[in-house]
Every structure is written in structure tokens, then in C-alpha cells.
Amino acid sequence: MFSLWQWEAAWLPKPGKTAGDEYHSLLVDMAAFGHALHAGIRPAALLPESVAPMDPFVLALRRIEFESGRLLQAQILFLKGPELVSVRDEVADAVERRHDQVREHWIAMLHSLDVDTD
């Protein structure tokens, strides 16, 4: 069941258990959450096939997805950067945890709108 408070709570930072550096752990969590949002939420994919390709709303959604792709590249560069080599496992765990969280909320929201996600 979709609940708005779940989306609101998802924005709260959830730093992992780093080897003592809370600041980097917070940055990793925020970047992992952004990565999950930009990779997992693709509203243009929900448009029907019969939609007019030059419709302003359709163009705007596609532009949003294009910009999300650019942000996703920056997040990947940060998450795979040399600064985080020593905590690579934590980075992978944070990305996986945040992807699971966003996927769960996105699917619940789509189901609340009677959108089939299969």
C-alpha cells in the first residue's frame, strides 16, 4: 500500500556503518539515494505508445529522464571514485539498500494508481 510518509521518510539520511567516518558515510548514502532515484524512477516509460511524441508534457518527461541520466553519471563517478576505494563494500551495500527502498516505494505507488508493474 502506498503511503506518502514512506516517500518522505526515504529522504532522511541513513548512513551505514563505516570504519569511523560518519561524514563520508552520509555522503555515500545521499549519493546512493540519488542514484536509486534517477535509475529507478522513469515516468516517461509509463506513457502509452499512442501518445503524440511532440506533446509538451511528453517532451518534458523525456527531458527529465535525459537530465536524470546525466546526474546518474555524476553519482556513479563519485561512488566509484578513488576517495571511496577503502569503503567499496559499504558503497555497494548502500546502493543496493537504496535501490531496494526506492523500487519498493515506486511499485507501491504505481499499484495505488492501478498501474501493472509486471
Cell of 72: 546518474
Q: Is 118 a domain residue?
A: no
- Residue range 32-87, pLDDT digits in tens: 999 999 999 888 888 888 999 999 999 999 999 899 989 999 989 989 999 888 88
| pLDDT of residue 1 exceeding 90 | no
Q: Is 117 a domain residue?
A: no
Q: Is 43 a domain residue?
A: yes
The number of distinct structural domains making up the chain is 1
Could you tell me the pLDDT band of residue 112, with boundaries at 50, 70 and 90?
Answer: confident
Quote the domain boundaries for residue 32.
Answer: 4-112
Query: Which DSSP string do the residues of 7-68 spell out, in sequence order?
Result: HHHHTS------SS-HHHHHHHHHHHHHHHHHHH--GGGGS-TTS-TT-HHHHHHHHHHHHH
Q: Is 31 a domain residue?
A: yes
Residues 47 and 61 sit within 8 Å (Cβ to Cβ): yes
- The structure's pTM equals 0.82
